[in-house]
Amino acid sequence: MGNGVELSTSTFAKSPSTPADLALVFTGQGAQWPGMALELTLSNRVFAQSIRHMDKVLSLLPDGPSWTLMDELHKPKESSRLHEACISQPLCTAVQIALVDTLRATASIKPFAVIGHSSGEMAAAYACGKLTSNEAIAAAYYRGVVSSEVTKSGAMAAVLGMGRIDVTPFLRPGVGIACENSPSSVTISGDTHLVEAVLTQNWAAKPEALARLLKVDTAYHSHDMQEVGDRYLTLTSPHIDASKSTATSSPAMFSSVTGILLPTGWVADAHYWRSNLESPVLFNAPVTELIEAHKTHSSNHLVFLEVGPHSALAGPLRQILAQSSMNLSYASCLVRAKNATESFLAALGQLWQLGMEIDFNLLTNPEQTVNVVADMPSYPWHHDHSLLFSSRISDEWRYRRFPKHEILGTRVPESSLNEPVFRNMLSLDHVPWISDHNIKGDVIFPCAGYIGMAGEAARQLSTESFAGYSMRNIVIDMAMVLSANKATEVITSLRKEKLTDSLDSPWWDFTVTSFNGSTWMKHCSGQVKALEDKAQALKRPLRELPRDVNSGRWYQALRNVGANYGPCFQGLSDVTCSPTENVSAGTATHTIQNDSHYAIHPTKVDFFLQLFSVAAMKGISHKLNIMNVPTFIEALGLYDCDSEDCFWEGETGLDSEEGMALSLKGVKLGPLENDVAEEDIDPYAGARIFWQADINFLKISDLIEPHSQQETFSLTRDLTLSYIKEALRRLEGVQPVLPDVRDVNSNGIDLGLFGPLDVAMRVVLQHIGPIFRGETEPLEVLLPNGP
């Protein structure tokens, strides 16, 4: 904690092999945000004094502002006026000048070159001595004044993925390139409808390019700014002394107006700032020239520090440096929406890590008020009797033999050597390769990890030379599911196996458990002991196996059954197998670099275990229909393998250039909990069984069941036929009006079932005449009370 600011953990960095040269890059207008640099005005005396000084300069101008820089920096988002050009322009420049003053006074920063983007050149000119702070803030203030006086409405658009040459064919009169930010990023400016037309044409021709309108209503760096050029020149000239000279040791300035290094005798007069207002921003060219000039004149490491409200130029700088085949060393004084004091101190820390000379005495004691007392009398030390007391636990912790292991952790000092306990807070942030062991959407701690933990514990407990370790009766009880959001507490406990009441075995019984927030879960147990002898050569050489297995296709088959392995667990290549035996072989190259010791890295051991599935399926990927994981290993021998390239055979073991590296015996594989192969799924699980007599024991008569109402059907048929004949007799001479009525031949009547109820047919027969003449509806007859 510093000044109420909680600082994040610093990242470790190697000391640079060469010193660093610093180039200051000044952000242009547009990166401002409410609350920028607020914390620095409260915590840094130099920064606050610089802002107050510029407020005084502005107040003395004949047409100075009615507001103050300090007040605007302290305004919240709701009342901030940073969106107004007349305020944002001087405020951005003031923050940059105050940052330069703070870098000089509190860290003794001395850049070798400066470069500014657009209006950022004003603060850059101050940093290299071409302008005073009074001149720079006056020029920035009047730039904001005249920018707000532009009467013509315009627009600007950022185009990413296209450079100047790519964009030029799409331009038209009234639209030009306002900023050439990098080889693949430009900003166009001009009349609103013309800019929109260019974007539409650009999207149609280059859909892969990203183009968007900026939230401005003025076409900066275009012909529209010439409207206020004369007035800007008139307002600025009285406040800039063009006759002053600068020191020869001042930093060089690379201009984004001319695109080149400015000569030593260059004068930052009002005419230059008018050109800066009206001309396009050529940022790509001067940065490229700066890099080439540094390559020619210095062998030091080049570091860019962005001075402004936000790291807006980080992307363009990366794109320019990528074209120059240089690695980017970059830091930013401020970052949007982050505490300004924290960002500034973090930037100084980055510069120091990159090899910059930082005067931390100035930073921590800027007023030189803290002094060391150097004339105190000497103390009569007595060394014959030590008064320092240190407990055993403290000594074991401070003088421990082994550093923390990434998966085993460290030995708990309170545990004894007879029953040692290792504790670790296992976090995927510290062991990222485990994240690639993804099973059915969960990150599962691999079986090979338990083997590595037990083996490392045996190494640390060994008192003799260590050549490897042997394990037996390994039981994997329950999967350890790891979370990306929190660390998991893991305990590995060991105790000597007893041969008799007074004699111990060289074997250690081990157990790996974890705490899930409410209870302890046992994941793995077994026995382990350290080996002193080097591995022996394989009893038989690896043989050629006839079937080649495509490793990419095999990993896809594993994904289909739930093994969504990442790159760290997809290291098998040159996989072969036997089409008739359960034998497979493969090659892997160890690529994971870490500081923890492993006889063989767990990813390599996992590659070997993966070959069991290849051997079981004889290399036919579509036969793999279930995810099997190790549940028991009868015996395991693992030897320290220094060779990067190892050869694997799924039947016996792993071989390296030095001989046997890993051997397994009695491996049992089983499916994950609730995991069932497709071929084992019961397709009739939703059916019910009904017991009936066997058809072979039935008579034919039992198979044919007559209808229970057969006699009724016969009578109904005869009755219906009678009614039909009577109806035809009554209808002789009647002309039907219903459209669906056809002539019926009494000699060809189709005998069928027209209704089971005699009453219905009788009613219809009684009204057959009116129905056919259209005088009565059939439903009225059948339903006299209505439907």
Token pair, residue 443, equals 């990150």
Q: What is d(CA 487, CA 470) in angstroms, rounded to the nearest whole number? A: 30
CA–CA dist 787, 777 (Å, integer): 12
Low-confidence ranges of the chain (pLDDT < 50): 1-2, 537-540, 643-652, 742-756
**Does the annotation count 101 as an active-site position?**
no
Q: Hey, what's the torsion of the CAs at 195, 198, 204, 209, to 10 degrees?
A: -70
Give catalytic status of residue 606 as yes or no.
Answer: yes
Gap between the terminal Cα atoms of the chain: 87
Catalytic residue among 21, 55, 101, 606: 606
Per-residue confidence (pLDDT) for residue 212, from 0 to 100? 85
**What pLDDT score does 390 carry?**
83
Please tell me which residue in 117, 301, 310, 437 is annotated as part of the active site: 437
CA distance 435 to 443: 6
pLDDT digits (tens, 9 = 90+) for 322-369: 887 776 689 999 999 999 999 999 999 999 998 888 888 788 777 777
Grouping H, G, I as helix, E, B as strand and the rest as coil, residue 61 is coil
DSSP 273-328: HHHHHHS-EE-HHHHHHHHHHHHHH--SEEEEEEESSS-TTHHHHHHHHHHTT---
| Residue ranges of domains in the chain, CATH in brackets | 20-149+228-278+307-364 (3.40.366.10), 154-217 (3.30.70.250), 410-676 (3.10.129.110), 710-782 (no CATH)
DSSP 192-208: HHHHHHHHHHHHHH-TT
- Distance CA(661)–CA(604), nearest Å, equals 11
Render pLDDT for 184-202 as a digit per residue (tens, 0 to 9).
999 999 998 899 999 888 8
Distance CA 337, CA 310 (A): 9
